Chain A
Amino acid sequence: MNYVVLACTGLDKPEGSVAREVAILLAEEAGAAIVCPVVLNRTPARYKKALAEDRLIVVDGCATRCASKLAAAAQAKPVQKVLISGVVKAAGRALDPELRLGADALELARKIADDIKATGAAASKEALGAGQAPAEAEFESPSDFTVVVHEKYEFRIPLSGYFFNANDVWVQVAGTRARVGISDYMQQRLTDITYVDPPEIGTTVEQFGEVGTVESTKANFEVVSPVSGTVVRINEAVDDAPESINEDPYGAWIAELELSAWEEDRALLVDGRTYAADVERKAAED
């Protein structure tokens, strides 16, 4: 299976220039075919076969995430996404504002391309699919809720099977796996959710580290992971229909992780009943 790479063409930010450089490196060294985002937007049929058959890597420059959004609009399913501004931030670096890349930025692009080749080469769409994951039935749908009522709002909270952190992110555990998503209270605060940027498969996440972002018409929300582990699966249904989080916040999980320290992580989470009290307090303070 071949690679195709859809990168931000960033003409006005150095992060975009790095994204473009990464795409070129992948094309030159890994034989990736490049998808032009503008042509994709105008004539998606041109890339239909490649996007259906090959492994798509999306490289965004900044948080605007043009490449990711164009991929979503074309109903393309990336096996890997990279956000250059996020990589820069995580590395504690700063890019020179020059749009023509200097030695540091070129070195960064080289490292990112090498990382993509190393992690992406091991993954295929099949490997990332259901074959690796526990059966759906192991993550049972919640059936027992408590409801916090505040003014005209009602916030539903499952009383069993779910744990919460202070950032309004839930976790549901099945064996050594866990799914994370955002609570009913948070989805109502965010209002209409328009975009979900899940973490990359293979990413190692620490408890309280970022495990994706959610964008709504009102705000951007960083999904703070309630658990530590390795991302093994993302919910493509949520990627395709972000509004499903508004409709079913406890079913519309964002990422699935292989847990690495559940017992320790659990000590810093609260159950549904305690979270309900927290929501009541938060709603009153809003």
Chain B
Amino acid sequence: MREDRGKVLVIPCSGIGKVHGLLSRESAYLVTDELAPDETDVVCLALLVREDEETLAKVRVNPCITIDGCGKACAQKNVEIAGGQVASAVQVAKILTKHRDSQPGTGSELTEEGWAISREIAEAVAEEASRVSAGQEVA
């Protein structure tokens, strides 16, 4: 079935106003713009929940990696509701527990520490995307 697949879809949380959401978004951009632009594409979660037909079709055909800000896991849940396959789900809040003393920034701006965490998340997602893209078993 791999011939039916296109890029791995990276779907960040839509969170606005909290650093978790910003980390989610910036990590996604790092993956799709810099780390794995040929293997990945970003999908707008708001379009998905609005049941945009083109977005639904993409999500149902391509493997997805979701990056959620918090435990609500809006991105993961909405991809699943839409009938998409979540190959891997990342939660920024869990990752931040490993950086308890850091100051990643605010909902509008990341600090240097925030950018470093964003890159850490992005590198993990890009690695996962490469595995998924190559058709390897998802961890």
Contacts and interface: CB of A to CB of B under 8 A. Distances in A.
A binds B: yes
Interface of A: 7-13, 16, 20-21, 23-24, 27-28, 34, 36-39, 41-42, 64, 66-67, 69-70, 99-100
Interface string B50-86: 1010000000000000000000101101100000000
Given A12-B47, A38-B45, 7 more contacts: A11-B28, A21-B108, A24-B17, A41-B49, A42-B49, A66-B50, A69-B50
Contacts of B13: 38
Contacts of A38: 13-14, 45-46, 49, 74-75, 78
B12 A11 contact: yes
Interface string B1-37: 0000000000011111100000001001100010000
Task: Rank and list the top 8 A-B pairs by shortest CB-CB distance, nearest first.
Answer: A9-B14, A11-B44, A34-B17, A66-B46, A41-B49, A38-B14, A38-B74, A24-B108
A37 B17 contact: no
A11 B42 contact: yes
| Most central of A8, A41, A67, A99 by chain B CB within 10 Å | A41
A66 B47 contact: yes
A24 B74 contact: no
Contact of B107 (A11, A24, A64, A100): A24
B16 A67 contact: no
A18 to B, nearest CB: 13
B24 to A, nearest CB: 10
A99 B13 CA distance: 16
A159 to B, nearest CB: 42
B77 A42 contact: yes
A70 B50 contact: yes
Interface residues on B, range: 20 to 34
B43 interface: yes
Contacts of A36: 14-17, 74
B46 A67 contact: yes
A9 B49 CA distance: 12
B49 to A, nearest CB: 4
Nearest to A65: B50
A7 B16 contact: yes
28 contacts: A7-B16, A8-B46, A9-B44, A11-B12, A11-B14, A11-B44, A12-B47, A13-B44, A20-B16, A23-B16, A24-B17, A28-B108, A34-B16, A36-B14, A36-B16, A37-B14, A37-B49, A38-B14, A38-B45, A38-B46, A38-B49, A41-B50, A42-B74, A42-B77, A64-B52, A67-B46, A69-B50, A100-B29
Contacts of B77: 42
Nearest to B15: A36
B10 to A, nearest CB: 9
Interface in B99-131: 107-108
A31 to B, nearest CB: 12
